[in-house]
Structure 1
Amino acid sequence: MADDFHPMLTPAEMARAAEDAAVAKATGRPLKSFLLGLTAGGYIALGFVFFVTSQVGAATVPYGLARVVGGIVFATGLALVVLTGAELFTSSTLTLTARASGRITWGQLLLNWLVVYVANFIGSITIMVLVFLGGVHHNAKSGWGAVVLNTSAAKLHHTFVESLALGVLCNLMVCLAIWAAYSGRTTTDKVIAVTMPIALFVASGFEHSVANMFMIPLGITIRQFAGDDFWAQSGLDPSAFADVTWPSFLAHNLLPVTIGNVIGGGVMIGILYWTVFHLAVRHDGPASVGPKP
């Protein structure tokens, strides 16, 4: 009946929906998670493509305004993840809620994380290779590639502790966005729910492990293979980016950011809200996650 329809889920119903989704991810077929992980990595990479494009020529725009615009357009990537059911490692940290309830094992949780993480990396690298082969870094007289290099270098200049803390802050916002999206019933609801939290993390310079799987490898690839014409057009000095390398990326960025993402999303959002709502969830029984007929 129409009277039974509610425009959004209650907070307790959102907690149940998040836990049910976590169980479905961790107990599903690894091949399905892998394929959905490939798409998620690709979508986040495409969001970063949009971000880079928005920052070309932004030096004359007030810093805050340019970053907010970049954050809003980057949110396209997470909106696509939510709407298509793709599996993203940062939001998959919420499977800790299902482990806390005893509905999945540690083995199931860790296998899901590993499969999705690897798939996200492959998906991100796939888009990175296509973007490079397409010569996108030459756009705007190589200004597009200059944004990539400057962004990559900035990410690699954080200390280990700074990268970890920025990873925590990032996945606080990503998992809040995912959690809020569970409340929505329509495409519009879900897109609005994810946009501003994601814009906040991007505009503030927080660190997202999967996004960095695209951005920094692209910076490394441009530095190594772009050629003299790129450096001449961009006006950049190649020696200024000598530390944009794979070892630096893996040890000084991806590792601490990944740890921070797990803490920020899985513990500080997932476990926190599980602690707040698990009694209500247990007593109320399964919550409806969609409109009733």
Structure 2
Amino acid sequence: MQKDQPETASAVTPPPLDAYPPAQVAAMVEAVGIKKANAPFLQLVMLGLLAGAFIAFGAMFYTLTVTDSTLGLGPTRLLGGAAFSLGLILVVVAGAELFTGNNLIVMAWADRKVSTAALLRNWVIVYLANALGAFGCVVLVLLSGTLGIGGGAVAETAARIAEGKLALSFQEAFFRGILCNALVCLAVWLCMAAREVVSKVFAILFPITAFVALGFEHSVANFYLIPTGLLAKGGFDLAGFLGNILPVTLGNIVGGSLFVALVYWVCYLRKAD
């Protein structure tokens, strides 16, 4: 008669499947923020370059997906938003430093565990690295000839996307930036609550699909979308580009830092007087 084998701890107690509760997520986000604020320069640059490229991949996928769609406005934008979600999935699961998501470091800053200088250092390094990563993808896409797919239909879509962004007023771009990064930072927050990769992917999918479908503005995505669309037409409007990037970046900071990070800090981390 064969003796029963002793049960392992994992067999007796399966890993939990429930999401982490919000208070625990807040503590986790703060701890990650401290680590990000103190990360070495080279690491921030390399991971920032990757994030810029990852978001550009999502933007490329979005541009192709909405090209020549006959589904109608809502379904087309919904499908395009799902395609764009690739970018943040790569950032979160593969690992990278994204300026918009790093607005959550404000939780650690508000708790005085990260200095203002360290916060701004992270933001500036990561923002510039994201821009370089996205710009690099603009060059690669133009050299690859993929904008010629569909007899140039993808290039036409890219140009229309850029024209639409440059047509926004400062106010429109700013408030669309706020709304965008509120959803992006909530997507990152939900990812922190998830325990395994599939859950993280689904946590990203709906908020990111929503911000893209609703036409909100993401500064890092625009580092790819605007230059690609303008150069596809054979020109570049620097003033128009900066006229979009500035208000969108400011809006992203407000949306992520104030409407998500500070709100959750007050709810879960603020010490009682």
- Normalising by structure 2, report the TM-score: 0.93
**Equivalent residue number for residue 26 of structure 1:** 37
2:143 to 106, 121, 133: 133
CA distance in 2, matches of 1:274, 1:6: 26
Specify the code of the residue in structure 1 equivalent to 2:200: K
How far is 1:74 from its partner? 0.5
Give the secondary-structure state (helix, strand or coil) at the position aligned to 1:205: coil
Give the secondary-structure state (helix, strand or coil) at the position aligned to 2:51: helix
**Equivalent residue number for residue 278 of structure 1:** 269
Specify the code of the residue in structure 2 equivalent to 1:45: A
1:220 to 230, 241, 245: 230
CA distance in 2, matches of 1:140, 1:5: 48
CA distance in 1, matches of 2:238, 2:16: 50
Structure 2 residue runs of 5 or longer lacking an equivalent are 1-8
**Equivalent residue number for residue 258 of structure 2:** 267
CA distance in 1, matches of 2:166, 2:41: 32
CA distance in 1, matches of 2:20, 2:220: 29
- Normalising by structure 1, report the TM-score: 0.86
2:240 to 237, 248, 253: 248
Specify the code of the residue in structure 1 equivalent to 2:261: G
CA distance in 2, matches of 1:20, 1:30: 19
Give the secondary-structure state (helix, strand or coil) at the position aligned to 2:195: coil
Specify the code of the residue in structure 1 equivalent to 2:241: F
Specify the code of the residue in structure 2 equivalent to 1:254: I
CA deviations on 1:103-137 (whole Å, 9 max, x unpaired) are: 11110000100000000000001111000001111
CA deviations on 1:128-173 (whole Å, 9 max, x unpaired) are: 1000001111110100000000010001111100000000000010
Aligned ranges 1:143-162 → 2 under 5 Å = 143-162=153-172
Give the secondary-structure state (helix, strand or coil) at the position aligned to 1:182: helix
Give the percent of matched residue pairs that are identical in Structure 1 and Structure 2.
37
Q: CA RMSD in A?
A: 1.5
Aligned ranges 1:9-88 → 2 under 5 Å = 9-58=20-69, 60-88=70-98
Specify the code of the residue in structure 2 equivalent to 1:13: Q
Give the secondary-structure state (helix, strand or coil) at the position aligned to 2:199: helix
Give the secondary-structure state (helix, strand or coil) at the position aligned to 1:9: coil
Specify the code of the residue in structure 2 equivalent to 1:18: V
CA deviations on 1:245-271 (whole Å, 9 max, x unpaired) are: 121111x20000000000001110001
Contact residue 217 and residue 246 of structure 1 kept, 8 A: no
CA distance in 1, matches of 2:100, 2:226: 18
Give the secondary-structure state (helix, strand or coil) at the position aligned to 2:215: coil
